[in-house]
Amino acid sequence: VILLRNIDPANGPCNGTRLVVRGFERNTIDAEIVIGQHAGRRVFLPRIPLCPSENDMFPFKFKRKQFPIRLSFAMTINKAQGQTIPIVGVYLPNPVFSHGQLYVALSRATAKRNIKILIQKEKPKEKANNSMKNIVYKEVLTG
């Protein structure tokens, strides 16, 4: 999972921290920090009160308690910028927006052998128009 709020930044749990859930209780989640200088540390995440934005539409306030996490199976290239990830998989259903984005995506890994790329094959009609993009992909894959 990924943490959505700063709970205790000095000890690890802050916005964007990736965690592995080890146990569930009624009002807490037992989790372990996966990446960073606090990797391996066990933390307990409480339910926190969340209120929607102030709105005078209702004569009462909505307030609910929920865990400040969400499932995290993937992240965008822009969200991954500045992070080191042990194993990187890049899914490219379309050509990348810029060469810089491809560089950011591939440079997140700790080693070249830890990178896997999935590219959708282009239709023959599109290959003639995007020949430069195909060359960039071939260089990336071969090395």
Domain ranges within the chain, ordered by starting residue = 2-70, 77-142
Q: 7-21, 33-47, 83-97 — which is least confidently predicted? A: 83-97
Q: What are the angstrom distances between the C-alpha of 51 and each of 48, 54, 61, 139?
A: 10, 8, 8, 50
> Helices marked H in 89-130 — which ranges?
99-106, 124-129
Rounded mean pLDDT, 65-76: 80
Average pLDDT on 42-58 reads 80
Read off the amino acid at residue 141. Answer: L
What is the C-alpha R_g of the chain? 21
pTM equals: 0.49
In the chain, the percentage of residues whose pLDDT exceeds 70 is 78
pLDDT tens profile 100-141:
778 888 888 888 898 888 887 766 655 544 444 444 443 344
